[in-house]
């Protein structure tokens, strides 16, 4: 009985190698057609895996369930979002949880006078940002300036929803990419913060509102309240916002994409 199976890889050769591994066959035993040759994209944007369709007609080999293969074989994890406006990365704790008090103590040391960005540096960052927008085929205006603690890159576009993405995933990934390419050959102390029409500040206010309501609920019902999974920058917002609230404690729990803030009433 004939059966077709699809395989992915960073290139056609990589997809064929995966098919050989999973099907336990030599290259000469494979019958396949190329469904998509794939693309490396530009600066990682628009990249896609190559795809091949393999037929096992007339071959008695058993199929191997691809779910047994680690998903990371086929694609890399998304870049970790970098710090946001006035928000520093949540520090790693020695144990499974870390308290907001510990985080506040770990983040007391700050540079006294950050170095000012030169006009050449700002011009280079603008060029990189415009290049990313061109690849995304977005009609946008880019404003860039040295904000003191960070370099602000503000993008105004009629397609802000597409640029920001669901829960800010796209703008966070683009911010990470912009930091990587801008500082690849020019090390610099300040981070680049990518924003669009005040999204960052609105997001901070939304998270603070959620933290406030959840803290009141924890106190009122005298029970622990878990917030939805958040990235490190967003968890930091909650810890900082509630650290002066003597009625509650905050900790982070969970791993990877499921890491979240847990709010507990003071006993």
CATH of the domain at 149: 3.30.300.20
> What is the predicted pLDDT for the residue at 89?
39
Q: Where is the domain boundary, 178, 197, 216?
A: 197
Q: Do 247 and 192 belong to one domain?
A: no
> What is the predicted pLDDT for the residue at 251?
94
> What is the predicted pLDDT for the residue at 39?
62
Q: Do 142 and 193 belong to one domain?
A: yes
Over 60: is that where the pLDDT of 99 sits? no
Q: Do 207 and 245 belong to one domain?
A: yes
Q: Do 187 and 128 belong to one domain?
A: yes
Over 70: is that where the pLDDT of 12 sits? yes
**Taking phi first (over 0 means left), then psi (-120 to 50 degrees means alpha), and beta for anything else, what does residue 43 get?**
left
Chain centre to alpha carbon of residue 246: 33
pLDDT, tens digit, for every residue of 213-232?
999 999 999 999 999 998 88
- 89 occurs within a structural domain: no
Sheet of strand 4-9: strand arrangement? 4-9, 50-55, 31-36
Share of the chain above pLDDT 90, in %: 30
> Poorest-confidence range of 23-27, 72-76, 128-132, 175-179?
72-76
Q: Do 189 and 241 belong to one domain?
A: no
| Best CA proximity match to 197, nearest among 146, 160, 149, 166 | 160
User: CB–CB of 172/81 below 8 Å?
Assistant: yes
pLDDT, tens digit, for every residue of 155-168?
999 988 889 988 78
User: CB–CB of 191/150 below 8 Å?
Assistant: yes
Over 70: is that where the pLDDT of 152 sits? yes
Task: Give me the number of domains the chain comprises.
Answer: 3
- 217 occurs within a structural domain: yes
Q: Do 52 and 8 belong to one domain?
A: yes
- Domain encompassing residue 9: 4-63
What's 216's domain CATH number?
3.30.1370.50
3-state secondary structure of 13: helix
Return the sign of the alpha-carbon dihedral for residues 51, 55, 59, 62: positive
User: CB–CB of 82/176 below 8 Å?
Assistant: yes
Q: Where is the domain boundary, 197, 216, 233?
A: 197
> What is the predicted pLDDT for the residue at 57?
38
End-to-end CA distance of the chain: 67
Give, as one character, the DSSP assignment of residue 261. E
CB atoms under 10 Å from CB of 48, counted, come to 14
Q: Do 165 and 208 belong to one domain?
A: no
Compute the average pLDDT of residues 121-131. Answer: 90
> What is the predicted pLDDT for the residue at 104?
41
Q: Do 184 and 213 belong to one domain?
A: no
User: CB–CB of 104/91 below 8 Å?
Assistant: no
pTM over 0.85: no
Q: Do 221 and 245 belong to one domain?
A: yes
Q: Do 168 and 188 belong to one domain?
A: yes
Burial class (CB in 10 A: 0-12, 13-18, 19+), 237: buried
Over 50: is that where the pLDDT of 50 sits? yes
CB atoms under 10 Å from CB of 153, counted, come to 24
Alpha helix (H) residue ranges in the chain: 12-23, 100-106, 119-135, 160-164, 169-182, 199-221, 232-242
């Amino acid at each position: 009985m004939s059966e077709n199976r699809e395989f992915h890889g960073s290139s056609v050769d990589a997809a064929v190698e995966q098919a050989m591994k999973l099907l336990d066959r030599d290259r000469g035993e494979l019958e396949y057609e190329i469904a998509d040759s794939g693309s490396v994209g530009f600066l990682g944007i628009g990249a896609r895996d190559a795809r091949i369709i393999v037929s096992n007609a007339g071959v008695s080999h058993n199929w191997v369930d691809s779910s047994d293969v680690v998903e990371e074989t086929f694609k890399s994890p998304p870049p970790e979002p970098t710090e946001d406006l006035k928000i520093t990365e949540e520090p790693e704790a020695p144990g499974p949880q870390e308290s907001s008090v510990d985080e506040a103590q770990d983040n007391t040391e700050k540079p006294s006078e950050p170095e000012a960005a030169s006009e050449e540096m700002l011009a280079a960052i603008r060029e990189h940002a415009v290049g990313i927008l061109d690849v995304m085929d977005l009609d946008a205006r880019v404003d860039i300036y040295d904000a003191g603690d960070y370099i602000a890159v503000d993008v105004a576009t009629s397609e802000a929803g597409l640029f920001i993405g669901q829960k800010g995933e796209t703008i966070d990934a683009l911010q990470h990419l912009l930091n990587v390419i801008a500082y690849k050959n020019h090390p610099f102390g300040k981070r680049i913060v990518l924003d669009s029409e005040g999204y960052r500040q609105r997001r901070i206010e939304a998270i603070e509102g959620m933290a406030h309501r959840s803290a009141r609920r924890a106190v009122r019902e005298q029970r622990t309240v878990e917030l939805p999974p958040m990235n490190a920058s967003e968890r930091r917002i909650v810890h900082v916002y509630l650290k002066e609230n003597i009625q509650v404690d905050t900790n982070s729990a969970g791993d990877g994409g499921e890491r979240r803030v847990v709010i507990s009433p003071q006993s």
